[in-house]
């Protein structure tokens, strides 16, 4: 998947400036959080700066461009942005039956790209995304206010076409 397409979806999902005291990331703009990037001036962050961060810290390290199925790559990228790249990668690794070390290497890429039924793989990943959010809410019920947004995010990724 081309970064230019993927980042548009991410920016759409993440929205603008938010400082919600219940959000563990704290002050956030375009999904870039003060907790993750403490030296950034979050309030004055531009879309271009956010895009650069998404490329350097998420898209490129996650090797999204090397995933043949664009929709699956978008789901993995979106999940990585929302909950962290290690978790996003571990979820797909479990589905393709490779060691879930949270790192996209050659073995993981081959397992993803050679998976015999890509539609089933996407459906499985979507189900794991839902399960992950449900577990977060179970651990911390205060975060249940984000549930609909998280589910909407998954569904808008499901219907996204490149």
Domain residue limits, the chain: 3-12+50-158
CA quadruple 68, 74, 80, 81: dihedral, nearest 10? 140
Query: 3-12+50-158 architecture in CATH?
Result: Up-down Bundle (1.20)
- Residues 90, 115: contact at Cβ < 8 Å? no
User: How far apart, in whole angstroms, are the C-alpha atoms of residue 155 and residue 123?
Assistant: 11
Of 97, 77, 61, 82, nearest to 133 by C-alpha is 82
The mean per-residue pLDDT over the stretch 8-24 comes to 87
Per-residue model confidence (pLDDT) at position 22: 81
Instruction: Convert the pLDDT of each residue in 29-71 to its tens digit.
Output: 999 999 999 999 999 999 999 999 999 999 999 999 999 999 9
Picking from 67, 73, 55, the residue whose alpha carbon sits closest to that of residue 106 is 67
pLDDT tens per residue across span 69-123 = 999 999 999 999 999 999 999 999 999 999 999 999 999 999 999 999 999 999 9
């Amino acid at each position: 998947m081309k970064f230019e397409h993927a980042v548009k979806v991410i920016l759409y999902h993440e929205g603008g400036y938010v400082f919600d005291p219940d959000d563990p990331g704290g002050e956030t703009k375009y999904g870039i959080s003060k907790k993750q990037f403490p030296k950034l001036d979050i309030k004055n962050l531009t879309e271009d700066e956010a895009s650069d961060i998404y490329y350097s810290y998420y898209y490129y390290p996650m090797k999204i461009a090397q995933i043949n199925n664009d929709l699956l790559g978008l789901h993995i990228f979106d999940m990585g942005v929302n909950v962290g790249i290690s978790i996003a990668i571990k979820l797909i690794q479990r589905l393709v039956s490779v060691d879930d070390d949270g790192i996209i290497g050659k073995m993981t890429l081959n397992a993803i790209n050679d998976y015999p039924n890509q539609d089933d793989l996407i459906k499985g990943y979507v189900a794991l995304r839902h399960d992950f959010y449900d577990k977060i809410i179970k651990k911390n019920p205060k975060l249940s206010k984000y549930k609909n947004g998280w589910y909407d995010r998954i569904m808008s990724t499901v219907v996204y076409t490149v």
